Structure 1
Amino acid sequence: MTQVEKSKIFNAKDLIAYFLVAGTGAVIQLVSSSLIQDWFDISWSDSIVPSYLVGLVWGFILTKLFAFDARRSNQTRREMVKFFMVATFSLFVTKLGADGSYYIVTHYLGYDIYEAKLPFGKKEVNITEMVCYIFGQGCSFVSNYILHKTFTFKSTGFYNRLKVLIR
């Protein structure tokens, strides 16, 4: 990849906008994960997929409107299909990053599970799980940014070929 191609992918404006949008999505995921754990009495690992799906809807809207300046592209359906494909891949990256790092931290590195109460809250938060979840989200951030920039919100001809295959 040449320097010109790299600068097109990693330009500061898009990267900052995407970071803010993805950060909002990450907060939505963390909050919904906590609520899902409480409501359905499931583990943090089991809450990753449903909380990711909650963040997915908000992620598409925010990414389309703010991150890659695609609000007037008139290709929303095409972008939704591509976004969902990237998001499906990203879900596996998030889950693998979170579960894998948790396993490595607790089994191979031998770190204990740390819990702390949130200020003004009653719930204890497992800090080890949260840090590992954020690590998984960070891995997902990198792959998402590159794929959305070069695939989802760019006309690649993929969607047209996919429509022909489906029909």
Structure 2
Amino acid sequence: MRSIPPPKRQEVRTFLTYFLTALLGASINFISRIFYRNFFDFDTSVLCGYLTATILTFIPTKRYAFAAAETGNTGREAVKFLLIALLALLVQVYGAKYTLHYVANPLLPRTPQLWRETGSHVVGMGMSFMANYFGHKLLTFRSTGVYDRFRQRR
């Protein structure tokens, strides 16, 4: 029976640093969703909160979480960051929406709506955290060579 090797120290450090920058993003997301809820329905306020957090966390994620401050690829990384963020946005919005409609509302009908929405939003944020982490780790702040091959064809 083969044992799984422990994660490398750098991988653990990257994950923890990403977790801290994601915590910043989650705080911005959460607080701005509450603000936007004064003007929009739940789904739209989750979307607006997510977009606000995405814009404000690109630089901290690039610089601290993935130590990619000096890559010289900020434009490419921003495009990949936004693509991954859009995928994770769908995960968050639909995760929160379906959790609210199919879990929180049926199971907790007497709980105040604000608490059901808040819990559902947190579930959606957790789902998008994982989508963002693996997307950024495997694509955004890593050279895949696709851009270089594309430029050589020109």
Q: Which residue in the other structure is 1:121 paired with?
A: none
Question: Structure 1 unaligned runs (5+)?
Answer: 116-124
TM-score by length of 2: 0.86
Q: Which residue in the other structure is 1:17 paired with?
A: 17
Q: Report the number of matched residues.
A: 151
**Which AA in structure 1 matches 2:123?**
F
Shift of 1:106: 3.7
**Which AA in structure 2 matches 1:114?**
T
Alignment counterpart, residue 153 of structure 1, candidates 138, 141, 146: 141
- Deviation string 1:11-50 (CA, Å, 9 cap, x unpaired) is 2101110111001101101111111122x2x222221111
Q: Which residue in the other structure is 1:49 paired with?
A: 47
Q: Is the 8 A contact 1:113 1:128 kept in 2?
A: no
Question: Structure 2 unaligned runs (5+)?
Answer: none
Q: Is the 8 A contact 2:77 2:140 kept in 1?
A: yes
Shift of the 50–131 alpha-carbon distance from structure 1 to 2, 3 Å rule, reads: same
Q: Is the 8 A contact 2:17 2:65 kept in 1?
A: yes
Matches within 5 A, 1:3-152: 7=7, 11-38=11-38, 40=39, 42-106=40-104, 109-112=106-109, 114-115=111-112, 126-152=114-140
- How far apart, CA to CA, are the structure 1 residues paired with 2:21 and 2:70? 18
TM-score by length of 1: 0.80
- How far apart, CA to CA, are the structure 1 residues paired with 2:151 and 2:129? 28
**Which AA in structure 2 matches 1:150?**
L
**Which AA in structure 2 matches 1:47?**
S
Aligned Cα root-mean-square deviation (Å): 2.5
- How far apart, CA to CA, are the structure 1 residues paired with 2:42 and 2:96? 10
**Which AA in structure 2 matches 1:58?**
L
- How far apart, CA to CA, are the structure 2 residues paired with 1:135 and 1:16? 20
